[in-house]
Amino acid sequence: MMNESLDLIMVGRKKRIRRYVVVTSILALLAIALCCTMLMLGNTIYPIQDVIRVLLGEDVKGATFAVGTIRYPRMVAGLFAGFAFGVGGTVFQTMLRNPLANPNVIGITAGSSAAAVFCIIVLHASNTVVSFASVLGGLGTVFIIFLLSNRTAFSIGRLILIGIGIQAMLNAFISYLLLIGREHDIPTAMRWLSGSLNGAKMEQLTPFIITVLIFTPIILALGKRLEMLELGEQAATSLGIHTNQTRLLLIVSSVLMIAFATAATGPIAFIAFLAGPIARRLVGAGFSSILPAGLVGIILVLASDLIGQFAFTARYPVGVITGIVGAPYLLYLLIRMNRKGDL
């Protein structure tokens, strides 16, 4: 009887492993296909062989500028931003055991946005200063949120409520800045706030890319501990997890990735909110959804950018499209949580 039970457990585990590998592979292939599509499509459509030649450093008439200077940085920005938002969002949702506990809702991206808009409208700063201020704004906001929510003992509910309150204050501050700003500064600020891949340049993306490459392995290495944190504080401690240390490493890694992503592309709406739940539904239970969430984030950003650029007569920033997709899901989630009594 015991052997039969063990056999059933092993069969179930193999099925879950197969599902995880298949789903992750399909997501990766879809992300690669979207990257290729972004490089090929534009005012002029270039065949994939010309794109490959440009990427290898060859000089191809017309394609070298269009692909190498415009489309490639745009694709790289979307690729790394989607991955960063997806991974960062799912870390927060898993660690805090609440689908609402994502960087958009608890005010982290609002902190980055407020700092960036202040630099654009009040200081009239350069893009480099705006990006640097955006990173500092996100880090400062998360420090304040966790400081206020951890005064006696760590509380998920208190953190979310404080985060929502700070987000509302920061959004009001952003609105005030837009009201007092000069006319020619407002379009720049609004374009940044909407979340856009327009005007991406490789030299500006380098710090962001390095940040993602450094902190992604750290988050992946902490994947098992993250799953244990989802069981609750007491359960994780009883399993030998140093909860405060693990939480600090996860928070710092995720916030830095999200802050640099926001600095590079603006606060692309709902990617951090949607990627995790979609990935968990696809891969199922029993495995970390960090990597699949990052791939889902890439797919959402690149697909939304392609839709915004080519599906309508006018061209829309990627954040407009993701906002249209994400808002109904947020309403659905709030209704479902209210019915369950989680709100």
pLDDT tens figures, 108-120 = 888 888 998 999 8
Q: Is the pLDDT of residue 341 over 80?
A: no
pLDDT value, residue 9: 58
Q: Report the number of distinct structural domains present in the chain.
A: 1
CB-based burial, 207-220: b 16+ in 10 Å, e otherwise: bbbebbeebbeebb
What pLDDT is recorded for position 173?
Answer: 93
Q: Output the pLDDT for position 85.
A: 94
Residue matched to tokens 């939480």: 247
Rg (CA), the chain: 21
With 0-12 CB in 10 A as exposed, 13-18 as middle and 19+ as buried, what is 275?
Answer: buried
Please give the average per-residue pLDDT across 312-319, as a whole number. 87
Q: Which of 205, 196, 192 is nearest to 301 (CA)?
A: 196
CA dist 125 and 133 (Å) reads: 10
CATH number at residue 102: 1.10.3470.10
Q: What is the mean pLDDT of residues 284-293?
A: 84
Categorize the per-residue pLDDT at 307 as very low, low, confident or very high, splitting at 50, 70 and 90: very high
On the question of pLDDT at 144 being above 90, the answer is no
- Give the per-residue pLDDT at 263: 87
Distance CA 282, CA 88 (A): 18
Q: Under 8 Å CB-to-CB from 250, ≥6 apart: which residues?
A: 91, 95, 219, 222, 226, 229
Structure tokens at 203: 């030299």
Q: Environment class of residue 161 by beta-carbon count within 10 Å: exposed (0-12), middle (13-18) or buried (19+)? A: middle
> Is residue 235's pLDDT more than 80?
no
The closest alpha carbon to 254, from 132, 128, 109, 113, belongs to 109
Q: Is 131 helix (H, G, I), strand (E, B) or coil?
A: helix
* Residue 1 pLDDT class (50, 70, 90 cuts): low
pTM for the full model? Answer: 0.90
More confident site: 323 or 240? 323
pLDDT at 174: 92
- What percent of the chain stands above pLDDT 90? 29
- pLDDT at 135 (0 to 100): 87
Whether 314 has a pLDDT exceeding 60, the answer reads yes
- The stretches of the chain forming alpha helices (DSSP H) are 2-40, 48-55, 63-65, 72-95, 108-118, 127-149, 156-180, 186-194, 202-221, 223-229, 233-238, 243-265, 271-283, 290-310, 318-340
Which tokens hold the place of 48? Answer: 């994939």
Q: What is the pLDDT of residues 44-70, one digit of tens each?
A: 889 999 999 988 888 888 888 889 889
- 102 has a pLDDT exceeding 80: no
Whether pLDDT at 99 is above 90? no
Range of the domain at 20: 2-340
Task: Say which range, 75-84, 166-175, 226-235, has the weakest mean pLDDT.
Answer: 226-235
Averaged confidence pLDDT in the chain: 85
Reply yes or no on whether the pLDDT at 155 is more than 60. yes
| Residue 178 token pair | 């837009």
Average pLDDT over residues 237-262: 84
